[in-house]
Amino acid sequence: MSLPLQKTTRGTSLPKKFPAFEIALVVVMLAIHLYAAGADPYAFPNHWFARDDAYYYFKVAQNIAEGHGSTFDGINITNGYHPLWMLVCIPIFALARYDLILPLRVLLVAVALLHAASSVLLYRLVRKHLSEGVAILAAIFWSFNTYIHATVYKLGLETPIAVFFVVLTLYQLSKFEGEWRTNPVTPKRLAALGLTAALAMFSRLDLVFFALLAGIWVVFRRSPLRIFLPLDIALIFVSMTSAVLLKVGFESYNPAYASSAVEATLIALVVKIAVFYFLGLYRHPRAMSLWVWARQTAIASSLASSLAAGLYILLVQFGLGRNFPRSAFFYDLIFTLTLVLASRLAGHWFANPSRSHADDSPLPQLKSNWENWLREGAAYYGVVVGLLAGYMFFNQIAFGTSSPVSGQIKRWWGSMGSTAYEFPASDWPSYFGLGPGAFDSGQPFTELVWYFNDVLRPHFIRGADMETERYFALLSIFVLVWLVFLFIYRKRSRQALSNLGFIPLLASGVVQTLSYTATSYGGAKEWYWVSQMILLTLAASLFLDLILKPLRRIRFLNPLLITAALAYGTFTLAQFWGLVQYAMPHGRYDPSLPYMEVVAYIEDNTFPGEIVGMTGGGNVGYFIEDRAIVNMDGLINSYEYFRVLQEGDAAVYLRKQGMTVIFANPRLLALPPYYGQFAPYLERYSSFGGKDLLYLLEEPKY
C-alpha cells in the first residue's frame, strides 16, 4: 500500500522513494527491537544471544578493538570466523571495556537494522516483478517468522549481514536485468556488481558459489550459457558425488572417499563443460528438435564422462590422484545423462518459442563473443576473485593457513568414524539438504510439509513407520504442483525467474549444500542455509502470484489481497511481539544476578590470571573476569594448535602456554577428536553442571 504517486513533467507517474508500507514495517521492527535492547542484562546471554558460537566473534572483536590482535584467548591468533561480520563487531565491542552488556544492546539494534533493510529490499524486489500484495506477504513473512528470526537474527552470528548482501545482490541483478538490453554495459557497472557479490561472499564464505555463479548469469547474459552453465555445474556436483556414495555407502564415503570424490568432481567439471559446449549443449533450447537434443546429450554425456574417468585414472597412475571406486564412473555417466537431458528437455518446453536468428552454434558463438566475454569476465571476476585471493593470501601470511581453521577442523571431524561432535551427512535426505535437524535446508517451509504429513497420516501412505516415505511423497507433490504452474504460465514465469535471479541462486544453493554434505563436514548448523531460505521465499512468492493470476481481472482483487496480507501481518506481529516480551523482560531479574552461573562457578574455583581450557567456551570467555579461556576444540584457536591436536600433543602444547585448569567432561575428552590425549595429565578437583574442573598437570600420571 503505497503513498500517492508523484507526477513527473512528462505526465508519467513514479512512486515516492519510501512507500508507506516500508516506513511502517521499519518503524514497527525497530520499535520492537529497541524494546528488546533495553531488557534486563541477564536476558541477553540467556534468552537472546544464547549460542556459544556468537561469543567467538564477540571476544575476538573485543580483543582486536583493545589492541590484542585477532585472538580469542589473548594467546593464540585465530581466523576462525567470517571476515565481514567481524568488521561490524569490532567497533561495537570496543564498548565492552565500559560494560559487557552495552555492546550486546547495540548489536541487537544493528541486527534489527539489517533485518529491516533486508525485508524492505525483499519487498521491493517482489513488488517490482510480481505484485504489491504478494510483496507485502513476503516482507511480513521474512520480518516476523519465528524460525527465521530465531535462526538468522537472534543468534548474534554472521547471518543477518549475509542475508542483506544476498538480497542486495539479487536486487542489483534485477536492476541490471532491466538495463542491459537497452543500455551499454560498462566495466564499471560489472565491477560494481562484482563488489556487491563479493560482500555477500565475505559475509559468509560459503556464499562464494553464489558470487561466482552470479557472474556467469551476468557475463553470458546474451547466451543460453547463462541458464545451462550454472545448472550444469550443480548437476555435475550432484552426479559425481552421488555416484561415489551409491557405490561405497556413507560409512565408507566420509572417512575414506570424500576427498577423492571432490577431486574427481573438479576434473569432471572442466572436462564435461568443455565437451558440452563444443558438442552444442549450450545452444538456444529451441535450436534443435527434441530428438536431436536427446541424441546430442547422450553423445556429449558419454564422451565427457569417459574422458573425465580416463583423466582421473591417469592422474592416479602418476600418483597425483587418490583412491577412487572406478565403477562409480559408470553411475556418474547414468546420472549425468539423466540430469542433463532433463534440463535440456525442460529448457526446450519452457523456452520462448520464437528463436533468435543469430547463429549460436559453438564455434561461431565463441568466435563472435570471446573478446567481450573475456573483457566483461575480467571486470566482474577481477573484483570477486581478486578480493578472494587477497583474503586468502593475507590469511596465509597472518595465520599460517589460507582459509578459516574452523572449517578445516570440522572436515577433519567428519573424516573420523566416530566423534564427540556432530556427524557429517549420513543418509540420502541429509545429503540433499532435506534431512533432520541441521541438514534441513528447507526450513521453515518444510514445516508445512510436516503439517500435512500429520494431517494425512490416516489416509495417505498409512502407518507410523512410513513417516519418511509420506513426507517425501508430499514434498514431491508440492514441487510438482509448483512446476505445473510454472509451465502453465511460462511467459510470466520466465520473466519472474529471470528478474529474481533464480537460476544463480538455485544452482549456488545446490553446490553450497553439497560443499557440506559431500565433503565429510562434521558439525553443520541450521543457520548455514540462508540463501536457501531466500530462494524458497521467492519461490513461494512466485507460486502465490501464479495461483492468483486467473483472478487478476477481478476488480477488487489487489486491494483484497493487500488487506489479507496486512491482516496476516497483524497476526504474526502479535505472535512475534509476545515472544519478544517474554524473552526480553524489563525489571524481572535482579541486577546483581550473575550473567551466567557457570562463569561465577569458575571464578570462585580458580585464581585471577589463571588460564582455563574449555571444549567450547565462547560465552564464558566473553563474560569471565581476570581469566583467559582457551578454546580446546580448535574452532577459535590457532592453526598451529589444530596441527598439534591432530598429532596428539595438545596437552603438552597447552601446558607450555601456561594453561593450568580444564573445565570439561572427561568422557568427551576420551572420544575423537581428542582420543584421550589429555587423560594422563588430568586430576579432578570439582564438578558443576555435568562437567569437571581438572588440573592440567605438568607431567603425565602414567
User: What span, in angstroms and rounded, lies between the C-alpha atoms of 627 and 608?
Assistant: 6
Helix axes 208-219, 187-203, angle to 10 degrees: 160
pLDDT at residue number 609: 93
Residues 443-457: pLDDT tens digits? 999 988 888 888 887
Residues 83-101: pLDDT tens digits? 999 999 999 999 999 999 9
User: What span, in angstroms and rounded, lies between the C-alpha atoms of 616 and 629?
Assistant: 9
Domain positions in the chain are: 15-48+79-177+552-582, 225-359, 404-551, 597-696
Of 674 and 287, the structure prediction assigns the larger pLDDT to 674
pLDDT higher than threshold 80 for residue 17: no
- Mean pLDDT score of the chain: 91
Q: Could you write out the three-class secondary structure of 492-546?
A: HHHHHHHHCCHHHHHHHHHHHHHHHHCCCCCCCCHHHCHHHHHHHHHHHHHHHHH
For strand 682-688 and strand 628-631, is the pairing parallel, antiparallel, or unpaired?
unpaired
pLDDT higher than threshold 70 for residue 48: yes
Length of the chain: 702
Of the listed ranges 291-300, 337-346, 557-566, the least confidently predicted one is: 557-566
450, 443 Cβ separation under 8 angstroms: no
pLDDT at residue number 370: 92
Of the listed ranges 42-51, 212-221, 319-328, 607-616, the least confidently predicted one is: 319-328
pLDDT at residue number 466: 77
**Would you give the distance in Å from CA 354 to the centre of its chain?**
37
pLDDT higher than threshold 80 for residue 81: yes
pLDDT at residue number 356: 55
**Helix or strand or coil: residue 66?**
coil
Residues sharing a CB contact under 8 Å with residue 487, sequence separation 6 or more, in sequence order: 349, 350, 493
User: What span, in angstroms and rounded, lies between the C-alpha atoms of 201 and 587?
Assistant: 41
**Helix or strand or coil: residue 613?**
strand
pLDDT at residue number 562: 87
Residues 58-76: pLDDT tens digits? 999 999 999 999 999 999 9
User: What span, in angstroms and rounded, lies between the C-alpha atoms of 169 and 163?
Assistant: 10
pLDDT band at 8 (very low <50, low <70, confident <90, very high): very low
Residue 631, C-alpha cell as written in the block: 578454546
pLDDT at residue number 323: 75
pLDDT higher than threshold 70 for residue 467: yes
pLDDT at residue number 355: 57
Residue 570, C-alpha cell as written in the block: 497483524
For 356-373, the DSSP string reads: -SS--SHHHHHHHHHHHH
CA distances from 147 to 45, 359, 471, 505, 533 (A): 19, 49, 20, 21, 11
